[in-house]
Every structure is written in C-alpha cells, then in structure tokens.
Amino acid sequence: MKRPVTLTINGAPHAVEVEPRALLVQVLRDDLNLTGTHVGCDTSQCGACTVLIDGHAVKSCTVFALQAEGQAITTIEGIGSAEKLHPLQAAFWEKHGLQCGFCTPGMILCAADLLSRNPDPSEVEIRHAIEGNLCRCTGYQNIVAAIQSAAAAMGGTNAERTPASTTAKPAGVPAGAGV
C-alpha cells in the first residue's frame, strides 16, 4: 500500500506516493524522471546512485524514499546546469575525467561532499573519498585530476601538484554523462 511523501529535491518539494519498500533511487528515476542518478548494482557496491542528503554523499539504493522525507536531497540535475556547470562538472569535462559517463554523476556528488569538508584534499584523500565509487573505464587517474582541478577552482590550492593532474586531454562530454 502506497504512502504519500514529500521529498525536497534540488530545492523543490515533490509530492509522491510510494510503497514503503521503494528505494530512493527508484523514486528519483521512476517517479520523478531524475535519471542522472544511475543504478549500477542495486547492492551498495558501485556508487553510481550517489546523491547528497543534507550535504552528505549517500548511495540512494541504500535508503528508503520514506526515510529521506524532511531532508535536502541533491541530485546531479541540481548541482549545475548546461549553462552554468558546477566547477566539478567543468573540471571533469576539461580533465577528461570520464569515458562512458555512467559513474560520473555519483563521482561528482561524492567529490562535492569531499570538497565541502576538505577544500584542499591530497591525492590520497581524494582516492580514499571515492573508493566507494567504481569506474570501469578511466583508471581513475583523470578523475583524481578533475577533482584536484575543481578544488583549485573552488579556492583550494592542491591542484596541479601531483602526477595525476598532468594527464589532461581535450574532451567533449559524451551523451548520457549526466554532467
């Protein structure tokens, strides 16, 4: 039996009726058409479903939608726009931090959480922060470079300091990247 719930997503309230067993990622994608939040495993392994809840990176396949009521949910659709990319989105583009793009929304939101807590993370700290987010394409090097670049753009100073930041390639953003 469905229950009414109001979820605050990207600053706007969304009234939906959900089954108590419905996961947040299912409601985001299937009820609200916010398909930038991806499903890679459904078993809390991959991080493709990462969103921010009250500013903290959370795998949305581990949360019931009902549990998220009253909290501020941010998805990749709410972090920037095509006209004004978030510095992390711009850095992933500029540093070629993606290939297929499937992991990218989760990576960016995980990195956003990191940079909100640690504006100037070391390479080791970045790699530790994203260890719950799997990427099967990039080898991670350019993802780390992108996060370092975004940290610098947002006021940190650690970018361009390590070998990871020297691998930038010119790139466009593939379709479906969610950035």
Using the contact rule CB under 6 A, the part of the chain among 82-90, 95-103, 109-117, 151-159 near ligand FES is: 95-103
Q: Partners of 8 in the beta sheet?
A: 13, 72
Beta strands in the chain (DSSP E): 3-9, 12-18, 50-53, 56-59, 72-74
106: nearest Cα among 82, 136, 83: 136
For 123, other C-beta atoms within 10 Å of its C-beta total 18
Answer yes or no whether residue 152 interacts with ligand FES by CB under 6 A.
no
C-beta of 6 vs 45, nearer to ligand FES: 45
Answer yes or no whether residue 49 interacts with ligand FES by CB under 6 A.
yes
Answer yes or no whether residue 67 interacts with ligand FES by CB under 6 A.
no
Answer yes or no whether residue 103 interacts with ligand FES by CB under 6 A.
yes
Closest approach, Cβ 10 to ligand FES, in A, equals: 19
The DSSP bridge pattern shows strands 50-53 and 72-74 to be antiparallel
Answer yes or no whether residue 99 interacts with ligand FES by CB under 6 A.
yes
- The residue ranges that bind ligand FES (CB under 6 A) are 39-42, 44-49, 59, 61, 98-103, 135-138
